[in-house]
Amino acid sequence: MSSLHDHGIFKFPQAGVINSSADRRWRNLGAEVRAHPACEIPDICSTQMEITLALKGTPSGVVHRRGDGRFQSTAVRSGTLWFCPIGVQEDSIRITEPLPEILHLYLPEHQFATAGELTSQPVASGDIAYLADVADEFVRQVCMRVLQEMRHETAAGDLLVEQLSMTLTLHLLSRYSGNGLIESSTEVNGALSPVRRNRVIDYVEENLEADLTVAELAEVACLSRYHFARSFKAALGQSPSEYVANRRLLLGQKLLEDPTLSLAEIAFRCRFSSQAAFGRAFRRHTGMYPGDYRRRRS
């Protein structure tokens, strides 16, 4: 199975990577920030749905591109958005001057296929239009939340990004394709029932030290993953990612009371990508770094 970052590596060989989600356990969405030189990009057929956001604009920079015969010329301002769906053949991309900070999000085809459970017909990334200079503040805000998670890892960032990828997929299909999303009237649209809620909570507690996904929590609740997150929040007042993050940080506090465990081991058991990321998240949660917390408790 190819990496979510393979497309960016192949498409932008001249662009340096500033930040990347490659070392995270994210599912269904990859992200990276690149610095692009003035250049021409080789011909490429998109293998992932690509959303591009200019984090910093330039005074006179322009991106000229042609995909499936459609030519677009776009001034690069802070907040400029581009979409390139899967299967679009881009045979001409020219960047007129260096672009210092560009965010790229990548969504795989199977993410769109699973959204078909909410529609009356099959859906795919290719249903979405090839667009430049998109005026969509919702997409910008999702991009910025993904960027924040990439720069400042949280205790359940994998769940958060999975939720964001689902939300973004449905938004793109609803607004930029010809497929209308028709939700099943048989789904539960309110809060989780007490039985379902307790079943999910028990499952989370039993698996705090393992990778968790929205899909498997939804399966425990016997709901589709597209309905589970809002039903969970209606029942507990927190999103699944917020709930799991809080439980993992409380687990971290408990583990810190065991002097035989190293900080690196505790970080791993709380599902962080590094000890440093655990330290920063723990400090945001408690006001002190793990080492200071351990010394104070001892």
Please report, as a single letter, which amino acid is at residue 53. L
Q: Which tokens in the block code for residue 106?
A: 């990548």
Q: Which tokens in the block code for residue 168?
A: 């973004």
Q: How many CB atoms lie within 10 A of CB 84?
A: 25
pLDDT at 123: 61
Please say whether the structural domain 243-297 has been given the CATH code 1.10.10.60: yes
Q: How many CB atoms lie within 10 A of CB 224?
A: 18
State yes or no: pLDDT of 298 exceeds 60: yes
Q: What is the pLDDT of residues 233-246, one digit of tens each?
A: 999 999 999 999 99
The mean pLDDT value of the chain amounts to: 90
CA pair distance 136, 288, nearest whole angstrom: 38
Cα 72 from chain centre: 27
pLDDT at 4: 84
- Label the pairing between strands 49-54 and 81-84: antiparallel
Which residue, among 138, 111, 105, has the nearest Cα to 123 in the 3D structure? 111
Q: Which fold has domain 6-176?
A: Jelly Rolls (2.60.120)
Q: What is the pLDDT of residues 113-154, one digit of tens each?
A: 777 666 555 566 667 899 999 999 999 999 999 999 999 999
- Per-residue confidence at 1, pLDDT binned at 50, 70, 90? very low
Question: Residue 50's beta-bridge partner residues?
Answer: 84, 106
Q: How many CB atoms lie within 10 A of CB 255?
A: 18
Q: Which tokens in the block code for residue 56?
A: 């910093």
CA pair distance 244, 238, nearest whole angstrom: 9
CA pair distance 7, 20, nearest whole angstrom: 13
Q: Which residues, 6 or more positions from 287, have their beta carbon under 8 angstroms from its beta carbon?
A: none
- Per-residue confidence at 67, pLDDT binned at 50, 70, 90? very high
pLDDT at 179: 57
Phi, psi for 186 (deg, rounded to 5) = -85, -10
pLDDT at 178: 67
Q: Is 122 exposed, middle or buried (0-12, 13-18, 19+ CB in 10 A)?
A: exposed
> In sequence order, which ranges of 63-156 are alpha helices (DSSP H)?
109-114, 137-151
State yes or no: pLDDT of 185 exceeds 50: no
What value does the mean pLDDT take over residues 47-68? 95
Asked if 242 and 232 count as a contact pair (C-beta separation under 8 A), the reply is no
Domain ranges of the chain: 6-176, 194-237, 243-297
Please state which of the ranges 1-15, 110-124, 208-222, 231-245 shows the lowest mean pLDDT.
Answer: 110-124
CA pair distance 153, 270, nearest whole angstrom: 12
Q: For the chain, first and last CA: distance in Å?
A: 47
Per residue, the 3-state secondary structure of 137-158, as one string, reads: HHHHHHHHHHHHHHHCCCCCHH
Please state which of the ranges 158-162, 187-191, 292-296 shows the lowest mean pLDDT.
Answer: 187-191
Q: Which tokens in the block code for residue 89?
A: 């053949």
